[in-house]
Structure 1
Amino acid sequence: MPKLAVFPKAFMQALCKDGTMKLSEWIELACALDVQGLEWYAGFLEMEDEKNWSGFRKDVEQHGKEIPMLCCSPDFTHPDPSFRKNEIDKQLRWIEMTYVLGGSYCRVLSGQRRPELSMDEGVQLATDCIKACLPKAEELGITLILENHYKDDFWEYPEFAQKMEVFCQLVNRIDHPNFGVNYDPSNTFLAGEDPLELLYRISDRVVTMHASDRYLIEGTIEDLRNEESGSVGYAKRLSHGEIGKGLNDYDAIFKELKRVGFDGWVSIEDGVDGMDQLERSVAFLRKKLKIYWPDFK
């Protein structure tokens, strides 16, 4: 049976960079929502000290919720082997963090789409690095989830495996019980592709999902693509919107996930315009999930 979680998309700067928001504040806000879990982010400032990890798990569980997923952004496509080794070491620490938090899923990415990198080189580098992390994941009972990503909030270049063909090639290279896909339909639009086409190709590998809706404040997807490299984070013309009011067809998405027996977490990336918006997105997804999984609580 699927479960709902929320992610603090609106508060990433405050929680990860300037420290103007404490995780205790986010926990209070998120646990007031009608969801079962809180997706965590490895880059929260307060997570730098390992002594805090078990305390945050306790705080969330005292509210009757859990931390099922850890969102991380390893950069496995750097040409320098020592840099990649450091990224693997960080990912191994994040796997441990997931375990201490009581989670089951830890995100991996391919890395940044650096201009000098060929497709074959990038796929091979990302494959090797992810495989190097799988023994630790298996040991601790954690599933590594590869997301069809657009661009980390703090990256200069977009995701190497942003395009469907590259993403599917990478997914097909890794056959392991502790590896699956975190499907994000909105990100597929940013690649200029059809999110349903991607879903139909990888639906049997999907174990978790990010739910959001996207729209462009101005211009076109082509305008976005022309400015997506060379600046840190998301382009200014891009915005997360309220779920159910954007481009995604959630009926088609959930119909396919139901068909393949999906029973994982759906984590909501929304609320950039306030907690009221996030509440409406929660209500929308709860209603949709109930249609396809009538026993959904």
Structure 2
Amino acid sequence: MPKLAAFPKAYMQALCKDGTMKLEEWINLASKLDVMGLEWYAGFLEMEDKSMWPEFRKMVEDNGKSIPMMCCSPDFTHPDASFREKEIKKQKYWIDMTHALGGQYCRVLSGQRRPELTLDEGVKLAADAIMACIPYAKERGITLIIENHYKDDFWEYPEFAQKMDVFCQLVDQIHHPNFGVNYDPSNTFLAGEDPLELLGRISHRVVTMHASDRYLKSGTIEDLKKEEDGAVGYAKRLSHGEIGKGLNDYDAIFSELKSKGFDGWISIEDGVDGMDQLERSVSFLKQKIRKYWDK
């Protein structure tokens, strides 16, 4: 049966930028949630001190939870080889971080969709870089998970493999027991595509999932696609919302995942309106998991 984890979506600025929240505070808040794990983020300010890594693991485990997944954003599609080599080194550092925290899964991405890149060039650069990291991950018992991603908060261009066809082409280049997909249904809407169509194409490769829901604050997906190309930051038209009340069909998603034998971690990217909202999302997902897996 899948296991639930939580991600501090509402507190990213406080934990990663201005330091107004300490990780211990987030761990204490999350300890009240009915989840088994906390998804970690490589960019938490306090993670800069390596000596604290075992301490954070202990704090989480003392609260009866684990840290199964690491969220990080390598940029493997830069045309300069020395830049890509630095990104590979960063990814290996994040793999070490995941290992120190007791985690099993560490995210990879393709990189930015730079205008000068052709499709085949970008896929090759990303695939080569990911494959360069796999032996390092395998030695540490870590599985690299590629997410169908929209855009890192600090990137200028959207994800190179944002579009379904590109993502599937990239995933199909890499076959290894220490590599799989982290499926995020909400991100597919940002490509103007159908998350269920994508899931149908990659469900046999899914090992982890991000659970979230999104709704448009204004305009349409088409408006979003036009204005976000080449703008630093995240989409302004789109908002995270309570799971079960947005655009995603969780019955169809879980039915497909169950049919493929999925039993991995599902990390909740939600709670932007507070812990009460996050608790409601946990309840919704637990109910749906029971419906499809507790048979």
Q: TM-score band (shorter)?
A: over 0.9
- Cα deviation, residue 43, structure 1: 0.6
Look up the SS of the partner of 1:247 in the other structure: coil
Inter-partner Cα distance in structure 2 for 1:99 and 1:124: 27
1:239-258 correspondence runs (5 A): 239-258=239-258
Inter-partner Cα distance in structure 1 for 2:62 and 2:248: 34
- Cα deviation, residue 244, structure 1: 0.2
In structure 1, the residue matched to 2:263 is: 263
Q: What TM-score do you get using the length of structure 1 for normalisation?
A: 0.98
Q: Which amino acid aligns with 1:179?
A: F
Q: What TM-score do you get using the length of structure 2 for normalisation?
A: 0.98
In structure 2, the residue matched to 1:293 is: 293
- Cα deviation, residue 233, structure 1: 1.9
- Cα deviation, residue 117, structure 1: 1.2
1:34-183 correspondence runs (5 A): 34-183=34-183
Inter-partner Cα distance in structure 1 for 2:229 and 2:193: 19
- Cα deviation, residue 145, structure 1: 0.1
What is the CA deviation profile of residues 81-136 of structure 1, one whole-angstrom value per residue up to 9, with x for unaligned ones?
A: 11110000000010011101000000000001111111111100000000000010
Look up the SS of the partner of 2:228 in the other structure: coil
Is this contact kept in 1: 2:213–2:247, CA < 8 A?
yes
- Cα deviation, residue 231, structure 1: 2.6
Q: Which amino acid aligns with 1:270?
A: D
Inter-partner Cα distance in structure 1 for 2:28 and 2:229: 36
Inter-partner Cα distance in structure 2 for 1:64 and 1:152: 31
- Cα deviation, residue 10, structure 1: 1.0
Q: Is the aligned partner of 1:226 residue 2:226?
A: yes
In structure 1, the residue matched to 2:20 is: 20
Is this contact kept in 1: 2:113–2:157, CA < 8 A?
yes
Is this contact kept in 1: 2:158–2:230, CA < 8 A?
no
In structure 2, the residue matched to 1:3 is: 3
Inter-partner Cα distance in structure 2 for 1:65 and 1:50: 21
- Cα deviation, residue 230, structure 1: 3.1
- Cα deviation, residue 20, structure 1: 1.1
Look up the SS of the partner of 1:14 in the other structure: helix
Inter-partner Cα distance in structure 2 for 1:115 and 1:106: 28
Q: Which amino acid aligns with 1:120?
A: D
Corresponding residue pairs, total: 295
Inter-partner Cα distance in structure 2 for 1:132 and 1:199: 26
What is the CA deviation profile of residues 118-168 of structure 1, one whole-angstrom value per residue up to 9, with x for unaligned ones?
A: 111110000000000001011011000000001112212111000000000
Look up the SS of the partner of 1:208 in the other structure: strand
- Cα deviation, residue 181, structure 1: 0.2
Inter-partner Cα distance in structure 1 for 2:30 and 2:4: 12
- Cα deviation, residue 14, structure 1: 1.1
* Superposition RMSD in Å: 0.9
Q: Which amino acid aligns with 1:151?
A: K
In structure 2, the residue matched to 1:195 is: 195
Inter-partner Cα distance in structure 2 for 1:203 and 1:44: 31
- Cα deviation, residue 21, structure 1: 1.0
- Cα deviation, residue 294, structure 1: 1.1
Look up the SS of the partner of 2:239 in the other structure: strand
Runs of 4+ displaced beyond 3 Å: none
Look up the SS of the partner of 1:227 in the other structure: helix
Query: What residue ranges of structure 2 are gaps of 5+ in the alignment?
Result: none
Look up the SS of the partner of 2:84 in the other structure: helix
